[in-house]
Structure 1
Amino acid sequence: MDTPRLSLAPYLCLAGAVLLWGTSFTAMKYALMGFAPMVVVFLRMALASLLLLPAWGHVPKAGRRPGDLKWLALMCLLQPCLYFLLEGFAMSLTTSAQAGMISSLVPLLVAAGAYAFLGEPLGPRMVLGVCLSLGGVVWLSLCGAAEQAAPNPPLGNLLELFAMCCASGYMVVIKHLSRRYDSWHLTELQVFAGAVFFLPTALATDTRWLADPAGALAVVPLEAWLGVAYLGGVVTLGAFGMYHRAVVSLPSAQAAASINLVPLVAVLAGWAMLGERLALGQVLACGLILCGVLLGQTRGGRRAQDASPTGAPTADA
């Protein structure tokens, strides 16, 4: 009787990780109801750091070799620093649904980065898939209309695209580092570096917390606090842990393919929780993006399955 439960556990973990990553875009919109973008990111990194701190001495740490420091620094620069710097402002300008759709580009961008920097082959289907998906992003941005919760979708989508480029570069770097470093140790380094980086960034971009911290605190709604808690405690750590548990037991291709469901969850969560709507042109643009992603990951295209679990879309998204 125990065998079915054991075989089902990896799939439940995979589904849970996809659900958390997909809903993280909606949680970010809730957090932005009370905090400036960089304040949200700092609080998220600080909370994750506090939760990971007790485990610091229990996570295996490989001895560093000459040259490792530059790779570790590049990892932290790409994600969380540049990634969240870009995505934080992107989420204040566009809808969670559109940002979630753009995140589906990550597997294709990873393959393109591996081709450019690691010399890995890039099939013609992958090239066509990248072109179709980028065309879909442009179409999606041009169809986006300004609204109160998304005042500048084209700029927000562009920043989100740049954030995905950083995430893809990070995955290429993590592929190199994960051969020797424990994935949880790399996560610890990232959240600690993020907390240090985003503290001055948050204070510089939102001076209310220096001038009148009590007043700034008083106007933050409960929804914003819940959004930050969900991002820092549940998404950053929970999604990563579940995805890591899943890929240990499942084929990497199967686990990586499931990431394509994250944009769908993001769109549904934005519709159900924020009342976001997509116009017909945006729906068609989303379809073009997904077609490009699926084309690039079918046989004949270069699958971006080799990325480490730590680099799943926005295990920190």
Structure 2
Amino acid sequence: MQSKNLKADVLLLITAMIWGAAFVAQRVGMDFVGPLTFNAVRFALGAVALLPLIHRLDREKKKDGTYKKLDIKQFFIGGIIAGSALFLGATLQQWGLVYTTAGNAGFITGLYVVFVPIMGLFFKQKTGVPTWVGAVLAVVGMYLLSVNEGFSIGLGDLLVLVSAVFWAGHVIVISLLSSKIDPVKFASGQFAVCSIFSFIGAFILEDMSFSGIYACAIPILYGGLMSVGVAYTLQVIAQQDAKPAHAAIILSLESVFAALAGWLLLGETLTTQGLFGCGLMLCGMLLSQLRPD
């Protein structure tokens, strides 16, 4: 049992690393295509990347007699609701990355782990003292990281902060619907919905071109295949043997890996105040995952 838990922790850590590095890919991608175009292609790739896993899981379920026919109505309704939340979160995050660094975006996006239990109050879910203390630490850290002289927050950081609210809403939607729909099929469906909405927005608001997409091939492939396809698959495998709260703590380290990747690959730097702010935010994220006895 202990070896299974260790394997799960390693897989979750790899997942956090992949997601953290994805902020660099998303930031670089903005040099070639618009935010909607980038998301349209990468989420389409992510949806397709999950198809082999879906086929394999269905085959295994049919062998052991646990296969259940997909409820098409629930699948479409759930996919549209979750895909819409995903679309809003991903679009605002990607748009914010035009104006802020990968490191900042990683830490601010990580605030969703604080927002989730707070938003859960609307669904009569209990929120303990550690979550509120964690929220205060995260807000102070956010201030130190993002607020400039004159008490103004940068546009990019503000957009990513709003996206974190939608990421939190997305997590809650998933928690409410995942028990009713096959989780991997559900994931592929919501990625497809997000991709469709992004394509529609890109055709209307951006100048889509194959040359731009081709020039952005490596960031898009990483964002679609690695960040969405591979990382999600690893998460699904790992969480079979990991408790949700424990998994959330490890996955929240994506913000640290985002900052490291931004420093190593893009030469991004943080001020002493910014580093202290990141530290407070990380403490707040981890503290928010503690559950009162």
The reply to whether TM is greater than 0.5 is: yes
The change in CA–CA distance for 1:286 and 1:56 in structure 2 (over 3 A counts) is closer
Instruction: Say whether 1:230 aligns with 2:228.
Output: no
Structure 2 letter corresponding to 1:96: A
- Match for residue 170 of structure 1? 170
Q: Contact (CA 8 Å) 1:89, 1:156: kept in 2 or not?
A: yes
- Match for residue 290 of structure 1? 282
- Match for residue 84 of structure 1? 90
Determine the C-alpha separation between the residues in 2 that align with 1:121 and 1:7.
Answer: 27
The change in CA–CA distance for 1:202 and 1:257 in structure 2 (over 3 A counts) is same
Alignment counterpart, residue 101 of structure 2, candidates 95, 98, 110 = 95
Structure 2 letter corresponding to 1:114: G
The change in CA–CA distance for 1:297 and 1:28 in structure 2 (over 3 A counts) is same
**Higher deviation after alignment, 130-139 or 268-277:** 130-139
Q: CA offsets per residue over residues 115-135 of structure 1, 9 Å max, x none?
A: 12x101112331232122123
Structure 2 letter corresponding to 1:63: D
The change in CA–CA distance for 1:195 and 1:272 in structure 2 (over 3 A counts) is same
SS in 2 for 1:297: coil
Task: Show structure 2 runs of 5+ residues with no match.
Answer: 59-67
Instruction: Say whether 1:40 aligns with 2:38.
Output: yes
- Match for residue 62 of structure 2? none
- Match for residue 204 of structure 1? 204
Alignment counterpart, residue 112 of structure 1, candidates 108, 118, 128 = 118
1:68 positional shift: 7.6
- Match for residue 63 of structure 1? 71
Determine the C-alpha separation between the residues in 1 that align with 2:153 and 2:20.
Answer: 19
Q: CA offsets per residue over residues 95-148 of structure 1, 9 Å max, x none?
A: 0000111122122111011112x101112331232122123213321149xxxx
Instruction: Say whether 1:266 aligns with 2:258.
Output: yes
Q: Contact (CA 8 Å) 1:18, 1:262: kept in 2 or not?
A: yes
The change in CA–CA distance for 1:169 and 1:16 in structure 2 (over 3 A counts) is same
**Higher deviation after alignment, 288-297 or 227-236:** 288-297
- Match for residue 190 of structure 1? 190
The change in CA–CA distance for 1:125 and 1:39 in structure 2 (over 3 A counts) is same
Alignment counterpart, residue 133 of structure 1, candidates 134, 138, 141 = 138
1:220 positional shift: 6.4
Determine the C-alpha separation between the residues in 1 that align with 2:76 and 2:120.
Answer: 21
Aligned length: 281
Task: Show structure 1 runs of 5+ residues with no match.
Answer: 145-151, 302-317
**Higher deviation after alignment, 8-17 or 233-242:** 8-17
- Superposition TM-score, scaled by structure 1 size: 0.80
1:50 positional shift: 3.4
1:52 positional shift: 3.9
1:229 positional shift: 0.3
Q: CA RMSD in A?
A: 2.7
